[in-house]
Structure 1
Amino acid sequence: MSEKISKAQYSPGLFDITQDIIGGLPIKLIEHWLESAQTHDVAVQLLTPYQVTGYSVSSDSTGLTRLTKQKGLLEILVLINQPKEIVYGIGMAIGGEGVGIWAADNTQMFYPASISADTLLSALLTMEDEISKNCQISIGIGAHYGEFYYISGGLYGLEADTIEAVAENDTEGGEIVISQAICSRLPANNSFQLTKRSDLLTPIGDIFRVLDGNRLAQVPGINKNYPIPYSDSFYADLVEYENRLNDTAFCQALSAKYIAHKFVVLIERESKAAESHEVGIFTNLSISAMMKDIGMRLLPQSHGMEIKVISLLGIYTFDSANAALEFGKAFRAELAKEDIACRIGIDGGAALVFDLSVGGKDIAGMPVNVASKMAQDKGEFGKLYLSYGMREYVNVSGFREISYTVSGVEMIVYEG
C-alpha cells in the first residue's frame, strides 16, 4: 500500500452511504482526510475539534470460556448483562458517560476532568464489590487520565487504545489497574493502597494495581439503560428471560426465535504504522473504511452478511460453509493487493445475530469466540484458520492441521 491513501481506491459511492449503514466509522471525517495532503498538521487540525481531557475507563470480563461450556447462549447474555448494569449505574452516578455500544462483555466509560481521582477510584472499588456479590462473571478494570479524541461515539488515540488493551489483556477478575497519571492526581493523604505492576511497560507510563481504599458512602443502584446494543424487542425478551431462567419452555421458544446455525468469518487486519500517532489514527480509519468497501463488494456474490467493521476487525456470517471459506480467501486477496496482511478465523455453529438499537447488527455465540481464538489469539498474519468442526463441511486437504491450548481450551485447527 502506498503511504498516501487515495479516494480512488474505494468504490465511488462509499462516501455517500448514510451513517446508520456505515456503522461507527466516521465516514465524512475519513473523506476529508483522503481529500487532504495527509500530513501530521492536517491530522491535528481535523482531530482538534474532537479532543477531550478526562478519564478513560475500560473493563473486560473473565470466566466466560468456562461458563460457555455450562450454559446456553441466551443465559450467557443475561450473565454478561448484569456487570454492565452495575458499571453503568455507579459510573453515571458520579458523572461518567458510556462510550460506544456495549455489545460484547466489555465496557468503556469517559469521566470528565472535573471528577476527582479519589472519587473515581472509590467508585471503581464499589463496582468490583457489587459485581463480586451479585454476578457470576467478574471483570478487570483499567483506568487512565489523559487526552483523547471523542469521535462518532468512540474514544480514539494512543492513550485510549493503551488502557483499553491493558484492561483486556493484562487484568484478572476483580482487579483494578490505574495509570501513573491518575496516581499523580490523588491527594497526598489518600486512603488507597497501590502496588506497581512491574510486569507492564506501556506508552502511558507505569501501571498500578489498586489493592484497597475508600468506597462510595452510598452504593448507587444498577442502571438498565447502559449503552444497550439490543433492539427494544430483543432486550425486553432478554429481561423477561432473566426472570424465568428455569422456564425450559420459554428458553426453547426464545432460542427458536433468535438463534440460528451460521458460519462466522472473523477477519483481523494488521495495524499500519505512520509518521505520528495522529496520522496513524486516520491511516487506520481509512483502512477500516477499505474493509467496509471490500465487504460490500464481495458479499452479494456469496449471499453473506456483514455484522460489523470496527477498528482492525470485520465479522461476517454465511449460511454456507463453502461460501464463508471462499469469501475469506477473496477478502484476504483484496487486502493483499493493498499490501495489508490479515488473519482469518472461520467456524460454524449456533449464533445469535441481533439488531443494534442505533442501527446495524452485532453477534454473539461460540463460533465468534472460536474464530477469534484461532485468528487473534494464535493466528499468523497472512493465514486463514478453520475450526476442527469445519472439516465436516469443507475440504481441508490443502490445510495444515495444528493443535494448541488457548484460554485453557484444547483446539485442533486447520491453517492455510
Structure 2
Amino acid sequence: MKQAPSTFSLILGLVALALTLALTLAAILSMRVSLRAGSDAYGHLSTVAALAADELSTRNDPNAAQTMETLRKTGLRFSAEPPPSSVVRPSVILKDIGYTVGQLLGDPSRVVVVQTPDPQIWVRSAHDPQRWIVLHALSYRRQIVASTFVITVLAGLIALIIAALAARMLTRPLESLTAHASELLSGEPVVQTHLSNSPREVRKLALAIGDAGEKLRSVARERELMLAGISHDLRTPLARLRLALELGDACDPYRRDAMVADLDELDSALEQCLAFVRDGRDEPRREIDLVTLVGQLLALRAQPDTWQLSGPSVLPANVRPSLLRRAIGNLMDNAERYGAAPFEVSLSNGHSDVVVRVTDSGPGVNPELLAHLGRPFMRGDQARGGVGTGLGLSIALRAAELHGGAAEWSNVPEGGFAVTLRLPAGSA
C-alpha cells in the first residue's frame, strides 16, 4: 500500500511552491524594473555626453580641447563612417537606451544602436550630418541578473526556513492529538494538560473526540447494563415456567394461566428493551393533538375509570407520535404498577413549552432514590424482585430529550409521585 504523505510535508511543499512562484514573479518584475531604470538613466547620460561632445567639437579653445580629451577617455569618439551592421541582435536594454536618446534628442533617426559584439550607440552630429558620435554602452545586465538571482535565492531560503518552522508549529498539535487520541477516548483530561497551548481548532477537535468517546462509553455501559438487566429479569419467569413444565402443571387451568402470565411478562420485558434500544430518533415529526393521543391511551387501560384527564380541549404539538405515545404509556404503566388510584394526566400549554404530567396517589419514591431514577433498569423500589424492567422512566426521559425537552419527577406533597414531560412548543 502506497504510503500517504505527512501533513508536515504537504504544508511545507505547498508553502515552498507558493514561495517559489511568488519569488520568481517578484524577481522577474524586479529585474525588469531595474533594467528599465538603468536604461533610462544611461540614456539620459548618453544624450548629455553626445550633445556636449557635438558642441565642444565646434570650438577651438583649450578648455574645450581638454574636455574632449576627457570624454575620449570614457570611450567616446567621432567617426566619419556610417554605423556598421550588428553582428548579433542588439539586446533589449540597448534598444531601450537608443529609444530614450532618440526621444530626448527629438529625432529618433539620429540614433543607431549596434552590437559588434560590443554594444555601441551612434548619434549623428547636429552640426555635421556626415559625422557620428560613437559611445560605448556599458552593460550591467549580467550584474543585475546575478544580483537578482542571489537575492531571490537568499530570500527563498529564509522564507523556506520560516515556512518549515510554521508548518512544524501547525503539525505538532496534530501529532500530539494523534498520540493522545486513545487517552481522549478513554476520558482522560488530555486537553487541559497536553493540548492547552494548541490552536483553537485542534482543541475543538480534541473535545469532539472526547465527547464521542464519552458517548461510546455511555452506549457500552447501557449495553452491558441492558444485558445484565435482561438476564436478571428473564431468569425468574423462565425458572417458574421450567418448574411448571417439569411438574406437569400445563393441564391445570390455574397453573396454565400463571404460565401465560409469565410469558406475558417475558414479552413485556423484551418489548421494553427493544423500545429502549430503538429510541425513535428516526421517526419523522408531525402535527398531532396531544389530547387525542392521551385519550386513546386512557381508552386502552384495563381500568380507565381510575384515570382522569385535565387540560385544554385541543393541544396541538409537533412531535414524534409513536415515540411520545410509548413514553406516556410507560409513565401510565409505572403509575399503575407502583402507585395507587386515582391517577391523572394533565396537559398544559406554556409560553415556550407543552407540559404533560402523569400523577398517581401512591406512597411515592424513597427520596434517596429520586436522584438515581431515569437510569436504565433502575426501579423506584430497591428490591429487584418486583415486576417491571425499570426502563419506563428511561424511555420517557430519552423521548423528552429527543424532542429537545426534558423530564422531571418528584414526590407529591399530598402523597403520590408525578412525572412531567416538557416539550418545546412548535418544535420542528
The structure carrying a bigger strand percent of its residues is: 1
* TM-score past 0.5 threshold: no
TM-score range, shorter chain: under 0.3
Q: Computing the radius of gyration over CA atoms, which structure comes out larger, 1 or 2?
A: 2
Q: Structure 2-normalised TM-score?
A: 0.18
The structure carrying a bigger helix percent of its residues is: 2
Q: Which has the higher contact order (CA 8 A, sep 6+)?
A: 1
